[in-house]
């Protein structure tokens, strides 16, 4: 649902501004920022996120150290490391797929596919990521202590 209340413009790129609550990004580029817990690694995303989901499988619980992942896809070419790129540890979780972590604090920052950032963890975005969880995946293998809230659809495995 679109909130039509007026908001003060947020400065980006020094001279441009955007007003999220007006609902129209217009021709102005979007800028999201994020980083790790200790602040060593930072990134920018210059496009809206998409396909936000929460996966409750045992592998995501371990990778995210919690009940589930909270992850959204990034448009190809929109992601850039702006600080700490040499302090990223990469882990290949399957052929062509992997995760990036901060070497110092261990924050799970993003997922990769074929060496490129595929998506980001929503918890590492600064402020409002502009997207909400659209689905819960693999709820059939969620932890017994996990109670899923909200009204996003839940799938025993992945969507069919």
Q: Cα-flanking dihedrals φ and ψ of residue 86, to 5°?
A: -80, -5
Which CA distances in Å does 73 have to 44, 48, 63, 86, 122? 14, 9, 17, 23, 10
pTM above 0.85, yes or no: no
Q: Give the pLDDT of residue 62.
A: 87
Let me know: does 110 contact 100? Beta carbons within 8 Å. Answer: yes
Ordered by where they begin, the domains of the chain are 31-141 (2.170.150.70)
pLDDT per position in the chain (160 positions), as tens? 333 333 333 333 332 223 333 344 444 457 999 999 999 999 999 999 999 999 999 888 888 888 988 999 999 999 999 999 999 999 998 899 999 999 999 999 999 999 999 999 999 999 999 999 999 999 999 999 999 989 999 999 977 6
Q: Specify the pLDDT at position 65.
A: 84
Task: Give residue 151's pLDDT.
Answer: 92
CA 127 to chain centre: 12
DSSP bridge pairs for 69: none
**pLDDT (0 to 100) of residue 9:** 36
Q: Which pLDDT value is given to residue 158?
A: 77
pLDDT of residue 159: 75
């Amino acid at each position: 649902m679109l909130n039509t209340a007026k908001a003060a413009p947020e400065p980006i790129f020094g001279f441009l501004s955007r007003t999220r609550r007006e609902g129209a990004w217009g021709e102005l580029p979007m800028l999201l920022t994020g980083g790790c817990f200790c602040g060593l690694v930072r990134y920018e995303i210059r496009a809206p996120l998409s396909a936000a989901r929460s996966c409750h499988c045992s592998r995501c619980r371990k990778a995210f150290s919690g009940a589930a992942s909270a992850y959204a896809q990034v448009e190809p070419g929109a992601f850039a490391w702006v600080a700490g790129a040499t302090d990223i540890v990469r882990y290949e979780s399957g052929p062509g797929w992997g995760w990036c972590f901060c070497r110092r604090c261990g924050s799970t920052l993003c997922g990769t596919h074929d060496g490129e950032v595929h998506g980001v963890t929503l918890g590492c975005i600064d402020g409002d990521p502009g997207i909400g969880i659209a689905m819960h995946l693999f709820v059939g293998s969620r932890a017994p202590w996990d109670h899923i809230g909200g009204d996003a659809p839940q799938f025993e495995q992945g969507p069919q």
